[in-house]
Chain A
Amino acid sequence: MAWFKKRPFLWFILPGFALYSLFTVYPIFSAFQISLNRWDGIGPKTFVGFANYAELFGNKELFGQLTGAFRHSVVLFLLNTLAVLPGQLYMAYLLYSRIKGHRFFQAMIFSPQFIATPVIVFMGTLIFDGNIGVFNKLLEAVGLGEWTRPWMGLPELGIYIVWMMVAWSGIGVGMIFFLGAMKMIPVEMMEAALLEGASYWRRFFSIVLPQIKTTVLNMLILTYIFAMTMFDFSFILGGVSGGINRSVDVMALFFYRIAFGDNSAVGGTMNVNAMGMGTTIACVMFSVIFVVAVVQVVLTYRRTEDGA
């Protein structure tokens, strides 16, 4: 007791530490341990070493699903990085320079963040559905009637439709983060540039962008983690199977399909190795994220050392 009395901080830290350790940290290690077994979640576990990994990368069907899902996750990441991120920076800079109506714009652009994913997908249906969609109606109205399509159901567009909904719902968060970072830039710096006659966009590229580069890097890693673990849009749009020809399949959905199968609460009815293979996929996702996260941390660390 005396030992605890001397260390009052332990009382403050312990409850949170216990909950966090049990439900956030332990599951990562436990997942790795389970992935070395053949297990359906209920019956006895059989230790099989790295056989699940060998099967995931060696079995043609599984590996095909893995690469397909991974490719889609990468597409999401690239589109978010190349299209959404510049858009967020552009809009944040306009808001930063107090464009007329900036309060209204920032609220409007951020608002989809408050809309639950099933509602966003439903909104997508209202606009892009083949029969009741507004978009087809619009095409007809401007005389492009032959271009009407059941947009939501086209396999070749699948992942791009997912991306559009992801972008619309999420663009505001990054924008607000960037805006917050821009507001931290010392005013004197901007004034000096203005006095020297630097143009609007010149100031953006030479002062604003270098000043908020850490925030941009952080955003990049968050975008990456998001793309690798995004689940709900694809699941709601394409169901457990990931849509026609798995056109909207992503990593987290592939994992869910193997581990939890078709709505079964006890983990996959058809697969006797649901938990074993499921955790194997989770561990692959984990390493895919971990490697990139470490690289980013090292890069950021080196940069701050250089700066100091």
Chain B
Amino acid sequence: MNLKARRTYASSAILWLYSSFTLFVLGYMTYQAFRSKKELLSNTFGWPEVFNFANFGKLFAEAGFHRYFFNSVLILAATLLIVIGLSSMVAYGIGRFRFRFKNGLLVYFLIGLMFPVQLGIVPIFLLIRDMGLMNSQWGVVIVLASGLSMPVFLLTTFFEKLPADLYESAKIDGAGEWTTFQRVMFPLASPVVFSICIIMSVQIWNQFFVPLIMLQSEAKKTIPLMIMKFTNNLMYNIDLAMAGSVMATVPILILFFIFSGRVLEGVASGGIKG
């Protein structure tokens, strides 16, 4: 079927311009990351005299990039594990079984979509402080992992649509509730789980607000906070800001471009509601 417009030159040109701009920004930043601090500030547009990996070396040796990276990975992995585990259980409970207040419970889990973490951060801050998790990555993990609304919604929709025979036949085989869930039902949901992982990963990896409030010591901070530290004083740290930004951006984007088809499908399925 041909649903194409007859003439799309103007539209093509717009998309090309827009995409080139994005490419240019990324390329320009990467190029500048190989130049020395002195040149960056005083000879920004001139021909480079120094062009090497020195800034990246400094980023690891002096600024401890790997430490921030480790913190970010720890928070991401732990949060994802908890979110996937808890939300698939909740969704299975709501989607599979029949009981009173079932719909009310689903709505209860959905109201979180309306209220971002910013609104409740003061009580959250106090709770975390009382639990002694201030300035710990686990405090950030717990707060981020409590945002279960979107995954519960997507997974409940999935489990509700699964044919009941699947569940019945597992029961006839003598499997308990937990085994049925773990061995049969959860693996079936893996495409939905993949979508959720993609959408949540972006949010958690770039999360700024919660770590800013919860993490005070440099040793606990995440990559976005590290970059802000450098960009706050560009006269001193522009070399580290460049190298840090490239390290925080380019590898992820390369991964994204390789898997963009699947990733974008995952994102799209998270957007279709009601």
Tell yes or no: A34 within 8 A of B by CB.
Answer: yes
- In the bound complex, residues from chain B placing their C-beta under 8 Å from that of A125 are 231, 234
Q: How far is the CB of A137 from chain B (nearest CB, A)?
A: 6
* Closest B residue by C-beta to A98: B4
- Known A-B contacts: A20-B148, A111-B257, A176-B264. Give 20 more (CB < 8 A): A9-B94, A10-B93, A16-B90, A20-B146, A24-B146, A31-B119, A31-B123, A106-B260, A107-B256, A116-B249, A117-B206, A119-B224, A122-B241, A180-B267, A218-B273, A252-B118, A260-B213, A265-B135, A278-B122, A279-B123
* Closest A residue by C-beta to B40: A132
Take A114-B253, A116-B248 as given contacts and tell me if A231 and B122 are in contact as well, using a CB distance cutoff of 8 Å.
Answer: no
* Closest A residue by C-beta to B25: A123
Take A24-B146, A176-B264 as given contacts and tell me if A286 and B206 are in contact as well, using a CB distance cutoff of 8 Å.
Answer: no
A9 touches B97 (CB 8 A): yes
Take A113-B202, A114-B202, A180-B269 as given contacts and tell me if A127 and B112 are in contact as well, using a CB distance cutoff of 8 Å.
Answer: no
Tell yes or no: B61 within 8 A of A by CB.
Answer: no
A105 touches B19 (CB 8 A): yes
A101 touches B15 (CB 8 A): yes
A176 touches B267 (CB 8 A): yes
A111 touches B134 (CB 8 A): no
* Closest B residue by C-beta to A212: B272
Per the bound structure, the CA–CA distance linking A34 and B264 in Å amounts to 42
Tell yes or no: B32 within 8 A of A by CB.
Answer: yes
Q: How does the 8 Å CB contact mask read for B181-192 relative to A, with 1 for contact and 0 for none?
A: 100000000000
Tell yes or no: B5 within 8 A of A by CB.
Answer: yes
Q: How far is the CB of A190 from chain B (nearest CB, A)?
A: 6
Contacting residue for A13 out of B5, B105, B124, B264, CB 8 A: B105
- In the bound complex, residues from chain B placing their C-beta under 8 Å from that of A214 are 274
Contacting residue for A26 out of B123, B134, B231, CB 8 A: B123
A103 touches B260 (CB 8 A): yes
B15 touches A282 (CB 8 A): no
B206 touches A191 (CB 8 A): no
Q: List 15 contacting pairs A-B, 8 Å CB cutoff, sorted by A.
A: A11-B93, A12-B90, A25-B108, A91-B15, A99-B12, A99-B15, A101-B16, A118-B245, A119-B248, A119-B249, A132-B44, A168-B22, A215-B273, A231-B118, A265-B134
Per the bound structure, the CA–CA distance linking A121 and B32 in Å amounts to 16
Take A16-B90, A106-B260 as given contacts and tell me if A265 and B216 are in contact as well, using a CB distance cutoff of 8 Å.
Answer: yes
Contacting residue for B142 out of A23, A27, A28, CB 8 A: A23
Take A24-B112, A26-B123, A187-B1 as given contacts and tell me if A12 and B92 are in contact as well, using a CB distance cutoff of 8 Å.
Answer: yes
B224 touches A180 (CB 8 A): no
Chain A contacts with B in 114-144, Cβ cutoff 8 A: 114-119, 121-123, 125-127, 131-132, 134, 137
Q: How far is the CB of B234 from chain A (nearest CB, A)?
A: 7
- In the bound complex, residues from chain B placing their C-beta under 8 Å from that of A211 are none
Q: How does the 8 Å CB contact mask read for B8-32 relative to A, with 1 for contact and 0 for none?
A: 1001100110110011011011001
Per the bound structure, the CA–CA distance linking A23 and B241 in Å amounts to 34
- In the bound complex, residues from chain B placing their C-beta under 8 Å from that of A13 are 89-90, 93-94, 105
Report how many residues on chain B are interfacial, defined by Cβ distance under 8 Å. 100
Chain B residues in the interface with A (C-beta under 8 A): 1-6, 8, 11-12, 15-16, 18-19, 22-23, 25-26, 28-29, 32, 40-41, 44-45, 82, 86-87, 89-90, 92-94, 96-97, 99, 105, 108-109, 111-112, 114-127, 134-135, 142-143, 145-149, 152, 177-178, 181, 202, 205-206, 208-209, 212-213, 216, 223-225, 227-228, 231, 234, 241, 245, 248-249, 252-253, 256-257, 260-261, 264, 267-269, 271-274
Take A176-B271, A184-B272, A265-B216 as given contacts and tell me if A118 and B253 are in contact as well, using a CB distance cutoff of 8 Å.
Answer: no
B87 touches A118 (CB 8 A): no
- In the bound complex, residues from chain A placing their C-beta under 8 Å from that of B224 are 116-119
Take A24-B148, A99-B8, A118-B208 as given contacts and tell me if A34 and B122 are in contact as well, using a CB distance cutoff of 8 Å.
Answer: yes
Per the bound structure, the CA–CA distance linking A276 and B202 in Å amounts to 33
* Closest A residue by C-beta to B272: A180
Per the bound structure, the CA–CA distance linking A9 and B97 in Å amounts to 6
Tell yes or no: A22 within 8 A of B by CB.
Answer: yes
Contacting residue for B112 out of A10, A25, A168, A259, CB 8 A: A25
- In the bound complex, residues from chain B placing their C-beta under 8 Å from that of A101 are 12, 15-16
Per the bound structure, the CA–CA distance linking A289 and B127 in Å amounts to 24
Take A8-B177, A15-B86 as given contacts and tell me if A94 and B15 are in contact as well, using a CB distance cutoff of 8 Å.
Answer: yes
- In the bound complex, residues from chain B placing their C-beta under 8 Å from that of A235 are 208, 212
Q: How far is the CB of B272 from chain A (nearest CB, A)?
A: 5
